[in-house]
Amino acid sequence: MERIGADKVLGAVAVLVFAILFYGDDDCDGCYTPSAMAFRAILAGAVVMLAAVYYYMKFLSLEKILFCVDRQPVLSAALATEGVPYSSEGKLIPIETMTAPISKRECVYYHVIKERLEKSGKSTKWVMKENVMAYKPFYVEDKSGRLLVDLMNVDHDFSDVVLPIVKRQIANPQNSEVDSMPVICRQEYKIEKHMAADERWRQSEYILTPGQDIFVYGMVFKGDEEEVLRESPECPLIVSRKTKERYVNEFFTGPSLWYVSNLVVAFGLILLMAGVAYFAPNFFMPGMTLGLFLIVGQTVVRSYNRLVLLRERVENSASEISLQLKKRADLLPQLEEVVKGYAKHEATLNQLIANMRADLLFYPIDKGTKKDLIAVLEAYPKLQASGNFKSLMLSVEKLEESIAQVREFYNRSVLKYNNLCQQFPTVIIAKIAGMKPAEFMDRYRLS
């Protein structure tokens, strides 16, 4: 996925403005006349405002994807379910490895780029002549098991070069990425020619090696023999060498585009009206007033909509926690009945179940309760072999992980919402709209 930060937007705007205002032929006598520069200012202002709107809309679309990644709990491999988005952290275990063509290193993925320096008029430029990608499916493994990962039609690998499509007959959703490692980056070399000038080339190679810790996110599909993680229209496939928390935190770097986009639009308006003033001086002040009024208006609307969006995320997260706790409460009586069927000394077991019920808001279950439950299981080996008991305990474990993850996501959503409620100018809008900061949730209390 493309990373959009304020530095990238400001850099792109600076390049556009410089190119429009100052690019021209030295022999062009009319390129820098006052009327020509005024027209250029109008064009530059319009382009800058359109660029700000484009990057902001792109930012919102990527933020929606990141929101889905952030709210998805990190689950164990044993809890992967067909047709459901899934994320996990574990070790990359290969099924079969390859040898990278240039570095000769063992890998499960490589991307090779070769470019040749060619003349283009009076100048020279690097022209890509080879763009090859290959991969082998691999497992992400944790203590509970492993899940197959398929990189088919992955879109990005941080090489700044579009990856070739592996299977064109299959739909190819965008934004999937693999965090490959650059082992060779634009290494130059020459190819000697006996009857012509030597050719200058450069090569780059990106690989993904076995044995490293990775974070994965995608959709679980039913494969021929086992479940497999792939991309889908609903969620991209992400394979990162970072943890999920670090991946989410580093996705949008630098100052928030939320504020910078408004400044860029205002800058574009100044450029545009400066050019208009040359042709219609009397229109400058009315145009600036109207433009600033529109900028302030859209800032207010954007701020209010964003406050509402973050508040809804907080409320949805709280509802999800309540739903997970209800499911957990419904499972405990079933677990109690299964345990009673195998146990002779029900007093100890009933006390354990009572503790688990009283601990509904203390997720995950405290270590003392787990230790006592393990002791009971060791005393009743038939209970451990019960299929119903195993199924129920797996469900409880899944819910415990989900509750912990959703609680963390709730607190992150509260942090974003509260920060926006206290920042200028959204603090004014929040007070007018009656929006109050939300409360954080700890492990002992459900707000």
The domain spanning residue 390 has which CATH number?
1.20.1440.20
Picking from 208, 200, 265, 269, the residue whose alpha carbon sits closest to that of residue 239 is 208
Band the pLDDT of 175: cuts 50, 70, 90.
confident
Those residues with Cβ within 8 angstroms of residue 112's Cβ, 6 or more apart along the chain or in another chain: 100, 101, 102, 130, 131, 132, 133, 203, 204, 205
Q: What is the pLDDT of residues 274-315, one digit of tens each?
A: 898 888 888 888 888 888 888 888 888 888 888 888 888 888
Q: Cα–Cα distance between 217 and 235 in angstroms, integer?
A: 8
Write down which residue in 191, 215, 241 finishes a domain.
Answer: 241
Beta-strand relationship, 138-142 and 145-149: antiparallel
Domain membership flag for residue 295: no
Helices in 23-95 by DSSP H: which ranges?
Answer: 34-71
Specify whether 59 is located in the same domain as 178. no
Specify whether 40 is located in the same domain as 91. no
Specify whether 88 is located in the same domain as 64. no
Specify whether 42 is located in the same domain as 146. no
Counting beta carbons within 10 angstroms of the beta carbon of residue 225, is it exposed (0 to 12), middle (13 to 18) or buried (19 or more)? exposed
Specify whether 28 is located in the same domain as 108. no
Specify whether 225 is located in the same domain as 131. yes
Specify whether 94 is located in the same domain as 126. yes
Write down which residue in 183, 218, 241 finishes a domain.
Answer: 241
Picking from 404, 245, 392, the residue whose alpha carbon sits closest to that of residue 324 is 404
Domain membership flag for residue 211: yes
Domain membership flag for residue 442: no
Please check the confidence at residue 361 and state whether its pLDDT lies above 50.
no
Percentage of the chain surpassing pLDDT 90?
Answer: 23
Please check the confidence at residue 252 and state whether its pLDDT lies above 70.
no
Domain membership flag for residue 140: yes
Counting beta carbons within 10 angstroms of the beta carbon of residue 409, is it exposed (0 to 12), middle (13 to 18) or buried (19 or more)? buried
Specify whether 7 is located in the same domain as 132. no
Specify whether 65 is located in the same domain as 85. no
User: What's the confidence (pLDDT) of residue 355?
Assistant: 62
Q: Which domain holds residue 415?
A: 313-433
Domain membership flag for residue 300: no
Helices in 215-361 by DSSP H: which ranges?
Answer: 244-251, 257-279, 284-342, 346-358
Q: What is the pLDDT of residues 191-210, one digit of tens each?
A: 887 767 788 999 999 999 99
Q: Cα–Cα distance between 300 and 425 in angstroms, integer?
A: 8
Specify whether 214 is located in the same domain as 97. yes
Picking from 365, 295, 310, the residue whose alpha carbon sits closest to that of residue 332 is 365
Q: Cα–Cα distance between 86 and 215 in angstroms, integer?
A: 11
Domain membership flag for residue 340: yes
Please check the confidence at residue 270 and state whether its pLDDT lies above 80.
yes
Specify whether 361 is located in the same domain as 221. no
Number of domains in the chain: 3
* Cβ atoms 242, 179 nearer than 8 A: yes
User: What's the confidence (pLDDT) of residue 444?
Assistant: 42
* Cβ atoms 165, 155 nearer than 8 A: no
Domain membership flag for residue 383: yes
Here the tokens at position 175 are 């934004």
Here the tokens at position 328 are 């957990």
Specify whether 40 is located in the same domain as 181. no
Domain membership flag for residue 376: yes
> Which of 184 and 64 is assigned the larger pLDDT?
184
Write down which residue in 218, 241, 264 finishes a domain.
Answer: 241
Q: What is the pLDDT of residues 402-420, one digit of tens each?
A: 777 778 778 888 888 888 8
